[in-house]
Structure 1
């Protein structure tokens, strides 16, 4: 019984790379199919966030997979296929967006904000340490007032 379960687990793990691509979508030419898989791995499903179109079971992902294969069979290059889909759906469909134009701001925002936070934190800590050193000594008026308040409390 344990061997049977282990066999099913192993077979299930071997079937994982097939993703959501249906048998009727697979091209008969293995070279074109490999190109389609490479392109699909770089295209994000617009419904399922974080999944490429090969992994997604959404209807739009199926349409995109078919569109990729259709464009490849018409003779388009990988760049032309990606360009066509980006033109139609926008850069949102790219798993790795371009690092140019408005996207450059988004790529740079994280590191820039991190550096600003580090500098701000360092300045805050420096000011706090400086204020602690200066507050240890009270003026004579402050000491007299403090003694007066403490006498009233007792």
Structure 2
């Protein structure tokens, strides 16, 4: 069983090396960086580097082809976003259509802090606070004793 797994791993490594044999070391680094930055549209929580979905394999091949064609990283990102939209990027650009995506977490935090502040303020107003008014208590006791 162990020998079979070893042979299978060896075959996979040779196959992967043969596929990327046309890359220079710099191109291989660019490829790994780019496929790590692009989101799998099928899985949505994985990069195309980590996904086994057919669409992710297609996107990896497109990135590979464009790197070999000499396109820059920005040109490749522009091509992919033109085809699939900003959602394909893990770090979409800050523009009017993505403002809510970038600012949403901060707005939700501000809203939560505001609601918590209102809640705490109401609780402290309703609860008796601090030292009791001794003069007021003395008058109440005097009235009761009469």
TM-score normalised by the chain length of structure 2: 0.69
Task: Choose the corresponding residue for 2:20, options 18, 26, 36.
Answer: 26
Instruction: Name structure 2 gaps, 5 residues minimum.
Output: 130-146
Confirm or deny: 8 A CA contact 1:39 1:78 kept in the other structure: yes
Structure 1 CA distance for aligned equivalents of residues 37 and 111 of structure 2: 33
Is 1:117 paired with 2:112? yes
Aligned residues: 118
Confirm or deny: 8 A CA contact 1:86 1:93 kept in the other structure: yes
Q: Deviations over 1:71-102 (max 9, x none)?
A: 12222111001100110011111122222222
Secondary structure at the aligned position of 2:58 is classed as helix
What is the 5 A alignment of 1:1-154?
A: 22=16, 25-30=19-24, 31-133=26-128
Pair 1:51–1:34, CA change in 2 (3 A): same
> What RMSD over aligned residues (CA atoms) do the two structures have, in Å?
2.5
Q: Deviations over 1:27-66 (max 9, x none)?
A: 5122322221111111111112221111111111110011
Pair 1:77–1:47, CA change in 2 (3 A): same
Residue 126 of structure 1 and its aligned partner are, at CA, apart by 1.5
TM-score normalised by the chain length of structure 1: 0.66
Structure 2 CA distance for aligned equivalents of residues 25 and 52 of structure 1: 19
Pair 1:24–1:87, CA change in 2 (3 A): farther
Greater RCO (CA < 8 Å, at least 6 residues apart): 1
Judge which range, 111-120 or 54-63, deviates more: 111-120
